[in-house]
Copies of this chain bind each other. A is one copy, B any other.
């Protein structure tokens, strides 16, 4: 698989992910009027369904990271060379911005506009730390022991985390940056982006250490688990 195709997969995948997040937010806010509950429910379910589909579609080409902290994790785990990481991240950021512009135009808005939602304070940063920590836990656990379940588990986790955190779980630096560029339902004030990204990276780092220990292979049980895992990966049973 050439790097150019892998980068195209990351860019197109992240573009559709952000289109789903931002576009469904615009649609939901327009339709539901004052009912934010319905809007968030639609917005998060759509985000999860899109993420599941995009991982299923693009994972065989690029791994479907669609998220710089996942790229960091994969490089740290030795699953991809560090030298590919910057181009992966660049592809994700460019794709994310393109996706936002694409849907803003669909809804008759300027391609880019600075978002105004204030997302600051320790509670929000704590939310992003935990959101990223859990996301990495799910990815490490599933990818080592049940790789075929990863698309479903990751998507379901994100839907849940959008509801159980007060920040509504961005958990993705590329998405955070791109969401600052559309002043709509899912926006974040540009000034708050840096803090979110730092919290996401901190959560990723802690999770990498904790879950690397938790899911390390060892002993008889693990040998069989490794075997299962290989069988899973080899035959891609589940969708």
**In the bound complex, what is the Cα–Cα distance between A15 and B23 (angstroms)?**
29
A14 to chain B, nearest CB (A): 13
8 A Cβ contacts from A138-197 to B = 138, 141-142, 145-146, 148-154, 156-157, 159-160, 163-168
Q: A53 at interface (Cβ–Cβ under 8 A)? A: yes
Q: Are B1 and A57 touching (Cβ within 8 A)? A: no
Q: Please, how many angstroms separate the alpha-carbon atoms of A22 and B154 in the complex?
A: 20
Tell me what chain A mostly uses at the interface: helix, strand, loop, or mixed.
helix
A20 at the interface (CB under 8 A from B): yes
* A95 proximal to B (CB < 8 A): no
Selecting from A4-12, A83-91, A112-120, the interface stretch reads A4-12
Q: What 1/0 mask marks residues of chain A from 191 to 222 whose CB sits below 8 Å from any chain B CB?
A: 00000000000000000001001110011011
Given the interface pairs A38-B38, A106-B127, A239-B149, the reply to whether A50 lies near B160 with Cβ below 8 Å is: yes
B60 touching A159 by the CB < 8 A rule? no
Contact residues in B for A40 (Cβ distance below 8 Å): 27, 31, 42
Question: What residue in chain B is nearest A156 (Cβ atoms)?
Answer: B49
Asked if A32 and B28 make an inter-chain contact with CB atoms under 8 angstroms apart, the answer reads no
The reply to whether the CB of A66 lies closer than 8 angstroms to some CB of chain B is no
Contact of A238 among B22, B45, B237 (CB under 8 A): B237
Does A60 lie within 8 Å of B238, measured CB to CB?
no
CA distance A23 to B134 in the complex (A): 14
Within 8 Å CB of A167, what residues of B? 106
Q: Does A37 contact B (CB under 8 A)?
A: yes
User: Is there a chain B Cβ closer than 8 Å to A19's Cβ?
Assistant: yes
Q: Are A159 and B49 in contact (CB under 8 A)?
A: yes
With A1-B221, A238-B238 as known contacts, state yes or no: A56 contacts B163, CB within 8 Å: no
Pair A231/B239 contact, Cβ less than 8 Å: no
Of B22, B106, B146, B165, the contact of A236 (CB 8 Å cutoff): B146
- Chain B residues with Cβ below 8 Å from A75 are none
Give 20 A-B contacts (CB < 8 Å), ordered by A residue: A5-B214, A19-B130, A20-B164, A23-B165, A27-B40, A32-B37, A38-B38, A40-B42, A45-B159, A46-B163, A49-B156, A53-B153, A53-B157, A57-B141, A60-B141, A105-B126, A106-B167, A107-B166, A228-B234, A238-B239
